[in-house]
Amino acid sequence: MRSQRTQIGIIGGGPSGLLLSQLLQLRGIETVVLEKQSREHVLGRIRAGVLEHSFAALMREAQVGERMDREGQVHDGFFIAHNEIKTRVDVRALTGKSVIVYGQTELTRDLYEARSQSGAAVIHNAKDVRPHALETSRPYLTGRAGTEDIRVDCDYIVGCDGYHGVSRLTIPDDKLKVYERMYPFGWLGVLSRTKPVSPELIYAAHARGFALCSLRSAALSRYYVQVSLTETVHDWSDDQFFGELRRRLPEDIAAELISGPSIEKSVVPLRSSVVEPMRFGNLFLAGDAAHIVPPTGARGLNTAGSDIYYLYHALVDHYRNRDHRGLENYSQRALARVWKCQRFSWWMTRLLHCFPEDSDFDRRIQDTELAYLFSSDAALVSLAENYVGLPL
């Protein structure tokens, strides 16, 4: 049995766990991160990478913003296409803020590099991790690393172990309320080594279904089309995918689109979910462990970032200033912002997708919502301020 003691035991070494660990270490607070998978496995996940202003600021505060600032692309706007009409949402002009497009894989790599350089512990391939004694002042984690049993005694445990993690499941059912909505469709995504069709993202609402043109760099495109939940990647050849994508885009954009072999192809279901509260005893939940948003508004990582911001400041206040209010209020404060991000992600999903159960009336309302958006500065400001990130 390998036993160790730390201040904060973190379950999960995705962006949330790594960022929290990095921030705390810079303020002299010790952490141990237990991650179920190998580093390569974590870095093999392809996920969105639109960073709001305050997330980028947190990366800089964590001293991991250098490559993000060098290689990330500052985007001052994006497009919404509806049939043949393409409207630019100039988020910079509307809010004074921009977003940074920087892949989540790269960001996670930067966080891993920083953790390794500081010699800080991320224990990979940690199996059967379990939190214990959460309602006492001596919580601890157990698990296995290789053939060795491990035990980590801590002051607090933070569950950053994503939607399929163990933290949330440890909380008794009667202490937790889950709010959830599943959408009757998914996104089929393709990554291809081709020049992106547009330097700015294009979200397309079309009678055949939603489509998105995104990118990772000047030579790497990321495209999505809405598909039904019964479809799998095997139902879609690259040609079929690009054919369908073109049909959902305005003609001039479709004509410019360069297709190429997919280097990754996957289907993700869309869901909205929140668990309340985000604390049980001395276990705090953060990021995907506590909430999931559909990817439409690019809020997933950013919402995780706001949890980490609140928790980081609460822990620093607790240890440095003996001020415990941040920890006491964490769940309430984090949830207030989480729900606003949920609302926005739900709204954007509703605005841009085809819902199979919609009546003709519903479709008219949806068209009118888009027409209103394109004709009202107030509506555009509302969209833009959510897209660049609401204040923390």
| Strand-by-strand arrangement of the 262-276 sheet | 85-89, 78-82, 202-205, 211-217, 220-227, 177-192, 262-276, 291-292
Q: What does 161 bind: ligand APR, ligand PHB, none (CB cut-off 5 to 8 Å by kind)?
A: ligand APR
Q: β-strands 2-5, 148-153: how paired?
A: parallel
User: What minimum distance in Å lies between the beta carbon of 302 and ligand APR?
Assistant: 8
Residue with tokens 């998978």: 37
- Tallying the residues shown for the chain, one arrives at 392
Would you give the binding string for ligand PHB spanning residues 46-85, x where CB under 6 A is met? --xxx-----------------------------------
How far the first Cα of the chain sits from its last, in Å, is 42
Please, which of residues 34-53 interact with ligand APR by CB under 6 A?
34-37, 42, 47-48
Question: Could you give the CA distance from residue 133 to residue 340 in angstroms, rounded to a whole number?
Answer: 33
How many helices and strands (H and E) does the chain possess?
A: 13, 21
Question: Could you give the CA distance from residue 365 to residue 227 in angstroms, rounded to a whole number?
Answer: 22
- Residues β-bridged to residue 126: 145
User: What minimum distance in Å lies between the beta carbon of 147 and ligand PHB?
Assistant: 38
Check binding of 383 to ligand PHB (CB under 6 A). Answer: no
User: What minimum distance in Å lies between the beta carbon of 118 and ligand APR?
Assistant: 19
Token pair for residue 262? 């997919």
Question: Could you give the CA distance from residue 367 to residue 383 in angstroms, rounded to a whole number?
Answer: 16
User: What minimum distance in Å lies between the beta carbon of 222 and ligand APR?
Assistant: 13
Residue 244: enclosing H or E segment and its boundaries? Answer: helix 238-247
- Alpha carbon 150 to its chain centroid, in Å, reads 30
Check binding of 300 to ligand APR (CB under 6 A). Answer: yes
Q: What does 14 bind: ligand APR, ligand PHB, none (CB cut-off 5 to 8 Å by kind)?
A: ligand APR
Please, which of residues 280-309 interact with ligand PHB by CB under 6 A?
295-296, 298
Per the CB < 8 A criterion, the answer to whether 269 and 183 are in contact is yes
Site for ligand PHB (CB under 6 A): which residue of 222, 279, 291, 333?
222
- Pick 17 or 103: Cβ nearer ligand APR: 17
User: What minimum distance in Å lies between the beta carbon of 351 and ligand PHB?
Assistant: 12
Site for ligand PHB (CB under 6 A): which residue of 54, 108, 214, 306?
214
Orientation angle between helical segments 325-352 and 300-321, nearest 10 degrees: 170
User: What minimum distance in Å lies between the beta carbon of 101 and ligand PHB?
Assistant: 7
Footprint of ligand PHB (CB under 6 A): 48-50, 201, 214, 222, 295-296, 298
Footprint of ligand APR (CB under 6 A): 11-17, 34-37, 42, 47-48, 126, 129, 160-162, 164-166, 287-288, 300-301, 304
